[in-house]
Structure 1
Amino acid sequence: MTETPQSRAARLAHLRRDELAKGDPVPLPLTMASMYHLPGDPTGFNQYGRFFNPTWSAVEKLLGHLEEATALAFPSGMAAISAVFFALLKSGDRILLPSDGYYTTRVLADRFLKSMGIAIDTRPTSSFLDGGFESYRLVFVETPSNPGLDICDIAAVAGAAHAAGALVVADNTTMTPYGQRPLDLGADIVVAADTKAPNGHSDVLFGHVTSRNPEIVSAVADWRKLSGAIPGPFEAWLVHRGLETLEVRFDRMCNSAEVIVQRLKDHPAIDAVRFPGLPDDPSHNLARMQMDRFGFLIGLTLESEQAAESFINKCALIQPATSFGGVHSSAERRARWGDAVAPGYVRLSVGCEPAEELWRAMQEALA
C-alpha cells in the first residue's frame, strides 16, 4: 500500500506505542542529561550529551517517518545547512546556490566557504536549469524560493546534476514534508528550519537534515558530534510536540491561504500577488506537478513601502515579525533585509486563525 500524507500523519501520532511498557507515559518524557551512568566498557551505551539524547532520537524518529529517510536534528535551520556544507565540501569544490533564496545561506557561503577555497555561483530559481551543472560538487535548491516564491523543477535539476556528478540539496522549509517531498523527486539531501511550521508556535529554533544515503548521514552525524552543533533536549521536546499537530495546522493554513489569496488578487490596494496555487502564477503548472499543497506563504506587492508597512501594522490579526509558519499569521516587508524585491513587497504567512475573520481584519487594514 502506497503511503499517503494522511496515512503518514495517522501513524506519526502512534510511533511511540511499540516502545511503551505498561504504565509508561504516552507523551514523550523530556530527558535533560549531559552524562549517563557508564561503568566499564562504554561501547553500545549512551555515553555523553554531545553524542546522544533520547529526546533528540524521538524527534528524529518523527522527522524520519515523515521524510521516509534518516533524520538528524540541529539547533537551527542554518545549523543544518552549515552541517551539510562543512561535512561534505572541501577546498577546490564548486557549489551552486539560488540567487533569490534565503539570503543567509549565501552570506554563509560567501563569508566562510570562499575562504576555504570553495567556489560559489548563483542562479535565479526560475531559471535554475539554465547553464547545466558541470563542474559542481553540490547544487542547492530552495523551492519555493524565500521570499519571492519562484519554483524550479526538482526532478529535472536532480537528473541533470546527478549526470554531472553533483549532489543535490533541497531546502524544504517553506513546504514541510506534507507539502513537498524533494527526496522522492531525486534530491540527495533535504534541509529545513523546523523553527517554522513543524514546531509551529514561534518559541523554538530548530532544524534537520535528512537523506537516504548512509554515507551522507554518517558524515553529517560525525560533523555534528565533533563540532558540537547539537540541539537542546527541551527544544527537541517542543518540536516533537509541534510535529504531532503539524498535519492539522498545515492543512488549515494552506486552505486559508487558498481562500484569502483569491480575494487579495482582486483587491485594488494590491499591485501584484505571488502564490503557486493561482492558475495564472508563472509557477502554477510546475507546482501542480511536484507539490502536494500550494503552501501558506503569499507574496504581496503594495504600491509603496509606506503602504506595505501600514497594512502590516494596522491589521489586528497579523503579527509584524520575521520568520513564518506559526499559528498566528505574520508578515514583513522583505526589502528591509536587503532582498531583491520591490519596496512594497510583503511576505505574508497565513496562520491558523479562522479564515473569514482573518480576511475581515485584512480588509480593514487595506482600507
Structure 2
Amino acid sequence: MSAGERVPVGGNPEFADLDHAWGDGTRCVHAGQHAAVPGEPLVAGPVLSTQYHLSPGGEGGETDVYGRAGNPTWRALEQAIGELDGGRCVVFPSGMAAITTLLRVLLRPGDRLVLPSDGYFAVREWARTELSGVSVREAPTAGPWTEDVFDGAVLVLLETPSNPGLDVCDIRELARRANAAGAMVAVDNTTATPLGQRPLELGADVVIASDTKALSGHSDVLLGHVTVRDADLADALRRARTLSGAIPGPFETWLALRGLGTLDLRLARQAENARAVAEALHDHPAVRGLRWPGWESDPAHAVAARQMRRFGGVLGFELPDADAVRRFLERSRLVGAATSFGGLHTTADRRARWGDPVPEGFLRLSVGCEDTADLVADIRAALDGISWP
C-alpha cells in the first residue's frame, strides 16, 4: 500500500467510495473496525488466547497458530493506525521496542546512522551501547543540515517536533536529500501523532511512535508502533518481533485501540488549552524560552505550519531554577509532576533530572483536557511570586 493509497475506514469495502470525505473524528472512531455482522458485538474485546486450533491434518493455512506470532487484537490496532498513518503498521510493547527493532532490522556493522542530538535521550543511549559496529552521527533537529551529514548514511532518524525542545525540521526537504544520498528516513512522530502530521505523505520511508503518549492518551498503556511503506520491511519487522519476543500484550493493545477512538477529541482540547496556556505564559516574568510550534512567534512555526495539521498539547519553557519548578508544582492544583506526556491530565516534567542537556529549570508541560479557564487560572496562580533574579 502506498502512502497515498486510501484504506476504507474500518476495513469495510462498502465505505470505499465514502471515506474520502470523512474527517479525523470519524476515521478515529471507526478505524480498525470490520463490517457489521448481526448478533456480533459492536466493539470487539481483546483476544487473550496464546493457543489456537490447528488443522488436524497439519496442512496449515491458519491465520493464527501461537500467541507470540500473531493476535487478532494486534491486527485490529495495526489496521487502525495504518489507516491513519497511510502505511503498513506493526505494533510493539513500547516505543523503545519499536525503534530498537527497526534499527536492528535495518542496520549492520559498518553502517552509519544519523540521530537527532536533541531527541529522546534513550534512543541515543541505546545506539551508543547496543549497536555494535554501527557508526552514529548526531545532528540537531533545527540544523544546520550540511551535506556531509548524509554521507554514507543508511538511515536518518528525525524527531519532529523534538522531545523535549520542540524544534522542528522540514521532513519533505530532508527526506529528499537523504534519499538522494542513498539513506532511508524514519520520523519519530510521537509528539505530533498521525492526526497532527503524516510523515509518509511528506516523503519519509518509516514512521515510529511511542503510543504510550497521546495516541493511547490515558496514561495506562505502554505501547509503540512502526509504520512503513514497503511490504517487505513490514514483514521483516513482524518476523523480528516474533523471534525476539518483543510482543505487545493483547489487553494493552485493546486499550490503545479503545483510546484511539477519542484521539481527535482529545487533541482538539489539548491544542485549545496549549494555545491558551502559551498566551498566559508569554511575557510572564517567571517564564523564559517559551516553545510551542503553534505559537506564531515560535522559531519553528513557519516550518511546522507547512507540514503539521495540528500543533499538539506539549509546550516547553524555563523557570529560574529547580527550586522555582518545585514551588510551581507544589502550588498548582491541576499540574502534576510526572514524566511522559499526551495524557488527559496536565503534567510537567523537569527534564534536567533525567540527564537531558537542558537548563535546570526547563519544564516540558503536557497540557491535558481540563477546562481551559480552570487550567490557565491554576497555572497563573502557581507562578505568582516566581520571577527571574
Question: TM-score with structure 2 length normalisation?
Answer: 0.91
Task: Report if the CA contact (8 A) 1:12-1:65 is conserved.
Answer: no
Q: C-alpha distance in 2, partners of 1:5/1:246?
A: 19
What residue in structure 2 maps to residue 75 of structure 1? 93
Q: What is aligned with 2:141?
A: 125
Task: Determine the structure 1 residue equivalent to 2:254.
Answer: 237
Q: How many residues align?
A: 365
Structure-1 residue corresponding to 2:3: none
| Contact 1:8–1:65 (CA under 8 A) maintained in structure 2 | no
Q: Give the equivalent residue in structure 2 for 1:25.
A: 41
Unaligned runs of 5+ in 1: none
Deviation of the 1:271 alpha carbon: 2.1
Asked if 1:315 is matched to 2:312, the reply is: no
Distance in structure 1 (CA, Å) of the matches to 2:70 and 2:107: 25
SS state of the match for residue 150, structure 1? coil
**Following TM superposition, by how much is the alpha carbon of 1:286 offset from its aligned partner in structure 2, in angstroms?**
0.5
Q: Which amino acid aligns with 2:224?
A: G
Q: CA deviation at 1:332?
A: 1.0
- SS class of match (1:19): coil
Match of 1:11 in 2: 27
1:54 match:
72
Residue in structure 1 matching 2:352, options 335, 342, 358: 335
Corresponding position of 1:99 = 117
Is the CA contact 2:30–2:261 (under 8 Å) kept in the aligned structure 1? no
Please give the alpha-carbon distance, in whole angstroms, between the structure 1 residues aligned to 2:241 and 2:181.
28
**TM alignment of 1:198-217, pairs within 5 A:** 198-217=215-234
1:326 aligned residue: 343
Which amino acid in 2 is paired with 1:73? V
After the TM superposition, which residues 128-147 of structure 1 pair with which residues of structure 2 at under 5 Å, given as runs? 129-130=145-146, 131-147=148-164
Check if 1:224 corresponds to 2:224.
no
**Structure 1: distance between partners of 2:326 and 2:308:** 31
Check 1:15–1:320 CA distance in 2 against 1; reply closer, same or farther (3 A cut). Answer: closer
Deviation sequence 1:215-274 (CA, Å, 0-9, x none): 221211111111111100000010000001111101110111012101111211112201
- Deviations, residues 42-71 of structure 1 (Å, cap 9, x unaligned): 233311001111111111111011112111
Residues of 2 paired with 1:253 and 1:278: CA distance? 14
1:180 corresponds to which residue? 197
Query: Is there any run of 5+ residues in structure 2 with no aligned partner, and where?
Result: 1-16, 385-389
Q: Kindly report which structure 2 residues correspond to 1:284-295, keeping only aligned pairs within 5 A, or say none.
A: 284-295=301-312
Deviating more after overlay: 14-23 vs 246-255: 14-23
Give the partner amino acid of 2:272: N
Query: What are the superposed Cα offsets for residues 302-344 of structure 1, whole Å, 9 maximum, x if unpaired?
Result: 1111112221232110111000000000001101111111111
Contact 1:67 1:177 in 2 (8 A): yes
Q: Distance in 2 between matches of 1:358 and 1:6?
A: 32
Question: Which has the higher mean CA deviation after the structures are superposed, 266-275 or 344-353?
Answer: 266-275
Distance, in Å, in 1 between the alignment partners of 2:288 and 2:29 is 43
C-alpha deviation, 1:364, in angstroms: 1.2
CA distance in 1, matches of 2:136, 2:191: 23
**Residue from 266, 276, 296 that aligns with 1:279:** 296
Identical positions, percent: 47
Task: Give the CA deviation at 1:97.
Answer: 0.2
Q: For residue 60 of structure 2, what is the aligned residue in structure 1?
A: 42
Which region of structure 1 is more displaced relative to structure 2, 268-277 or 228-237? 268-277
Task: Please give the per-residue CA displacement for 1:22-48, whole angstroms capped at 9, x wherever unaligned.
Answer: 111111221101100113222333110
Structure 2 counterpart SS, 1:125: coil
8 Å CA contact 1:309, 1:333 repeated in 2: no
The SS at the match of 1:239 is helix
Distance 1:250 1:4 in 2: 21
User: Is 1:335–1:342's contact at 8 Å kept on the other side of the alignment?
Assistant: yes
How high is the TM-score relative to the length of structure 1?
Answer: 0.96
Cα RMSD for the two superposed structures: 1.6
> Is the Cα–Cα contact under 8 Å of residues 330 and 349 in structure 1 kept in the other structure?
yes
Q: Tell me what 2:362 maps to.
A: 345
For the structure 1 residues 5 and 265, does the alpha-carbon distance in structure 2 shift closer, same or farther, using more than 3 Å as the test? farther
Q: Which moved more, 1:125-134 or 1:348-357?
A: 125-134
